[in-house]
A and B are shown apart, each in its own frame.
Chain A
Amino acid sequence: MFNGKLALALMVAGTVHAADPDAARQGELVRLVRQDCGSCHGMRLTGGLGLPLTAEALRDKPFDGLVATVIYGRPGTAMPPWKSIISENDAEWIVRRLMQGFPEETR
């Protein structure tokens, strides 16, 4: 299992992590998060039917738990599993970026 804290430290230090999706995929993921996760979490990620996903809202949440939520969903809530759409590697990148403050779409 990927070590989230280490990844975060590396990102903060300005090092590109070896497992990052390529630039094209990152663009797709940013759009997916803003537009499709945004259906419930808001395009500005400030929440809606789903919880807010801002860096502040996620500050004290465990990285691995958030990745698992993205991949497997959260039974009993409206959060669906996204594993048919995104890989675990994609999910780790998304969660890392969410915890830093998510990038805007390049338009």
Chain B
Amino acid sequence: MTRCLAVAVALLLSACAHTGLREDGQLRGTGDLGVVIERATGRVAIVDTTAKAVLARVDGLGDLSHASVVFARDGRYAYVFGRDGGLTKVDLLLARIDKRVMQAGNSIGGAISQDGRLVVAQNYVPGGIKVFDSITLELLSEVPAQSKVVGLVDLPGQRFAYALFDKGEIWVSDLSDPRAPKTQKFPAGSQPYDGLVTPDGRHYMAGLFGEDGIALLDTWRPEQGAKKILEHYGKGQEKLPVFKMPHLRGWAVAGGKAYLPAIGRHEVLLVDTATWKEAGRVKVKGQPVFVMARPDGRQVWVNFAFPDNGWVQVIDTLSGQIVQTLQPGKAILHMEFTPRGEHVWLSARDDNLVSIYDTQSFARLATLPADSPSGIFFTSRAARTGF
């Protein structure tokens, strides 16, 4: 019986181009898979982090000049949010598009609910969020905002937090009834540009562009409202021109400290997560874009905005010092750690390469060709709040 089923599955899978079977004919799991966005060609590469290889490519995802990805909790489906408002559900095992909808005119990303049943898109045009059934991509409801929405994250309890760039607010929508969202609104500060949630799903932070500081909301005690932390960290100094907004998702918390990009400065800011007071600064090579902790929290990796985007630096969280400065390629846009952090994958857009480094020895282990690669996303995100 089991054998019949396996044969049937094998026949089904062999009927089309797929990745569901390994080269030895055995069924594949999804825990070591991921996708790399090929931004210029509207395509994703399905990758295997064990084999360090591209398994297949899936075309037809539209404008991926800015794209983000969340995963179904079974690790089989990647939901890709494109710049043009396209939401595409990619089947990693059949290496094909399962469903695709055009859900907005201009979009920036999305999130998936705690129970995996809802996929939520955050949009610029028209501003607001839209709620979809994660299986069918049927539209269930929306929360219009009259503002560009940034920093959407999932929270426990079928809630989602996000920030409104044009309104300076943080909103929390409860989607317990996905067809009837209930939304709470909190003043946050001037021009929030992105947001993140702590790994426990409790504290939501929105980075502010229009003023120095970060808005912090304790979602266990929302009645207290959002407060400002790291206020005036620039002490009135003029900011450098910001050629690319930092990204806060994929944030770094390690050893009781949060590591955050300073906007318009060549600094990473440290915050004590018990008191939410500044706990130091690390001078770095350029304006940070991604500041990401290795999963064990021992290292924090930083990449930079144009024109310093050929560099990557590594901070040792025990000493607070930079322990490594790398030049992995031209225009390093993103970094992603393997699930337990022994390797990191880096995309070098202008070299058309993804490089894989050992995070202990800093040796380059492999390079994979990719067409203008940007975001790299592994299925281990499926199990993490805020990813």
Contacts and interface: CB of A to CB of B under 8 A. Distances in A.
Interface of A: 35-36, 38-40, 42-44, 46-49, 73, 76, 78, 80-82, 84-85, 105, 107
Interface string B176-187: 000000000000
B193 A78 contact: yes
B65 A42 contact: yes
A78 B40 contact: no
Interface in B329-362: 331, 349-350
15 contacts: A35-B349, A39-B66, A39-B243, A39-B245, A43-B83, A46-B84, A48-B83, A48-B124, A49-B148, A78-B209, A78-B245, A80-B241, A80-B243, A82-B241, A107-B40
A24 to B, nearest CB: 16
Given A36-B244, A49-B124, A84-B241, A43 B193 contact: no
Interface string B41-77: 0000000000000000000000101100000000000
A38 B66 CA distance: 9
B265 interface: no
A71 to B, nearest CB: 11
B83 A78 contact: no
B157 interface: no
Contacts of B307: 85
Contacts of A35: 331, 349-350
B204 interface: no
Nearest to B264: A80
A105 B243 CA distance: 20
B193 A47 contact: no
Given A35-B349, A78-B209, A47 B241 contact: no
Contact of B124 (A47, A73, A82, A105): A47
B13 interface: no
Nearest to B124: A48
B106 A47 contact: yes
B63 A46 contact: yes
A105 B150 CA distance: 29
A78 B191 contact: yes
Nearest to A83: B241
Q: Considering the complex of A and B, which 8 residue pairs feature the smallest CB-CB distances, nearest first?
A: A43-B65, A80-B241, A39-B244, A36-B306, A81-B241, A80-B242, A44-B63, A42-B83
Interface residues of B, number: 28
A42 B148 CA distance: 14
Contacts of B381: none
A73 B124 CA distance: 22
Given A47-B124, A80-B241, A82-B241, A42 B191 contact: no
Given A48-B108, A78-B209, A42 B63 contact: yes
A39 B108 CA distance: 11
A36 B191 CA distance: 21
Contacts of B241: 73, 80-82, 84
Interface string B107-131: 0100000000000000011000000
A40 B125 CA distance: 14
Contact of B165 (A46, A49, A84): A49
Interface string B229-250: 0000000000001111100000
Contacts of B148: 49
Contacts of A46: 63, 83-84, 106
Interface in B165-217: 165, 191, 193, 209-210
B39 interface: yes
A36 B125 contact: no
A105 B125 CA distance: 26
A35 B124 CA distance: 19
Contacts of A42: 63, 65-66, 83, 106
Most buried by A among B66, B165, B193, B307: B66
Most buried by A among B165, B243, B245: B243
A81 to B, nearest CB: 5
Contacts of A38: 65
A81 B240 CA distance: 9
